[in-house]
Chains A and B, each alone.
Chain A
Amino acid sequence: MSELRAVRNLRICSKDCLCLFVCPTGATDTETGQIDFEKCIGCGACSKACPSGAISMVPYKYPKQQEKDSEVIERLKKITSSKVEQEQIAKYVYKNGSDKEKVLAKIIMKSNRLITEDLYREAGYMLPQSDNTKKFLEELLEKDKTNKEDIERLLKLLGFK
């Protein structure tokens, strides 16, 4: 099997459709607008032909998660803890505050969540396929019976079991 597959970014795609006639297998010709992964052989012809640069070749197997120094992770996680608390306080204000406070609380919730997500990416969780994610999901599975099926499904989909 090829190591790569083509994906189309629908936000950039300007429907020039050059991919349609360069694709050797017809994988780009679909009703959904996305490329048929079953048919794609990863040759990259569509990606090279696309005048809008809307098609990228993405790997099936991603590189190993970058090794992170434990002190760096610890420091980043101190910020995530604080940001998470701020998001929760903002959520409380959003539910209980005046209209004016609600607006501010909403911005703080949204902005803090984005900051936290970014921090986690740099704290060892850049790739869903990494060992760190596997460990996180396995530990969650032990404690969380409510979402057992979803967590098990994720472990399977990400190739962990």
Chain B
Amino acid sequence: MSKYICPICGYVYDEEKEGVKFENLPDDWKCPLCGAPKSLFKAEAVEVIIAEEEEELREMNYGEVSALCSSLASSCEKQYLTEEANLFKKLADYYNSKTKLEGNFEDLINKINKDLDLNYKKAREIATEKKDRGALRVITWGEKVTMILKSLINEDIPTDKKIFVCEVCGFVYIGNEKPEICPVCKVPNFKLVEVVK
């Protein structure tokens, strides 16, 4: 017996309580609270993964240590703390070399979908409730860039076009002329750096 959750309003369909398997519901069945179609519902397995991640959070994995170190490296650089920045960078590279996770674009799409459908939404809810403007900023930018990344995986990147990445927010632009400013974080386009293919 499983539970199925409405991604729009959070309504939980509990097979045990309802006495009818979710898959046996008619195709035109809709969320009784918000009317979302049956096809959008997700099995509660998603929630189980979140519980597992909570365990992981107590101990950062190599990839997370690497990312935090490179984040601190860039903060040191902004403060003109060159030696500190270099040491954090060195740690970031060391931990990055120790990560080993295999996968393919399908795995990436699945993770991106989960970020867009769940992680960013929940984060926005909490950040709004706690009035954390900084968190709301990073959620807004990250969510937009994540949508762009999803569209890039789904489409073919034209080989005759240049690729630029915004070094402030991670926005990716495909085309030969850079936009005046980054459409996501609004930084002038000198921060949009071409990625060498």
Contact = CB atoms under 8 A, between A and B. Distances in A.
A87 B79 contact: no
What secondary structure prevails in chain B residues at the interface with A? helix
Size range of the chain A interface in the assembly = 35 or more
Interface of B: 50, 53-54, 56-57, 61, 63-68, 70-72, 74-76, 79-81, 83-84, 87-88, 90-91, 94, 99-105, 107-108, 111-112, 114-115, 119-120, 122-123, 126-127, 130, 132, 134-135, 137-139, 141-142, 145-146, 149, 152-153, 157, 163, 165-172, 195, 197
A107 B169 contact: no
A74 B127 CA distance: 11
B135 A115 contact: no
Contacts of A121: 71, 75, 138
Contacts, number: 203
Contact of A104 (B134, B145, B153): B153
A35 B91 CA distance: 28
A65 B120 CA distance: 24
B74 A117 contact: yes
B195 A115 contact: no
A3 interface: no
Given A101-B105, A140-B65, A150-B87, A117 B71 contact: yes
